[in-house]
Amino acid sequence: MKDLRFIVLNPCRQTVGTVYFVQYGYDGDLTIHVKPDDESLLSPGNKYLDNAPLPPCDKDKGCLMVEITCQGPINTTIQPQAAGTCNGFKGHVLAAGEIHQVGDRIEIWGPWVEERPGNPDHHSWRELHGATILIISHIDLASLGFTPNQIAYAQRVPIAAPMHDD
């Protein structure tokens, strides 16, 4: 891990789940909220992850946050501490067709971590940080309880992953 804000629960954990939310973080990570089939991966803090305007994964348990590092631009105005974190990044940058969409069923591997207590921006939620993902299939969003407006929002123009300068 690149910083001490995490408690490592398992250095390589695997799970399967359904994508409920996708966006780039200000730190350049691609953030995906997943409803895991194995709810034991969640902590009480996971219910604070915000999917708005999309429905929550589970109103009582929340989503598992999955972060694929160094996938997008870094906004150093909003998150100055992220400056330079992806310099020399040699991992795979997802192409537009590889970006996961709401409703995808995915299998995920990565370090299973918990945010350290006391971080004012987090609620000690658990996540897979530095994950690797494989799309399994796509399911109908209406079957997940999405309204027509939420489906339209979730299926907006796919995000294109920018390339990094090495």
Residues 89-127 pLDDT 10s? 878 888 766 777 888 888 888 999 998 876 666 678 899
Residue 42 included in any domain: yes
User: In terms of pLDDT, which residue wins out, 4 or 156?
Assistant: 4
Q: Is residue 162 one of the residues assigned to a domain?
A: no
Query: Mean pLDDT across the chain, nearest whole number?
Result: 80
Is 157 a residue whose pLDDT tops 60? no
Which has more pLDDT, 134 or 62?
A: 62
Report if residue 60 sits inside a domain: yes
* pLDDT, position 121: 61
The CATH number of residue 80's host domain is 2.40.50.140
Residue 160 lies in a domain: no
Query: What's the number of domains the chain is made of?
Result: 1
Which residues span the domain enclosing 65? 6-154
In a domain, 166, yes or no: no
Within-domain flag for 147:
yes
Lowest mean pLDDT among 17-31, 61-75, 96-110: 96-110
Indicate yes or no: pTM above 0.85: no
Nearest of 1, 18, 27, 5 to residue 107 by alpha carbon: 18
Does residue 53 have a cis bond before it (omega within 30 degrees)?
yes
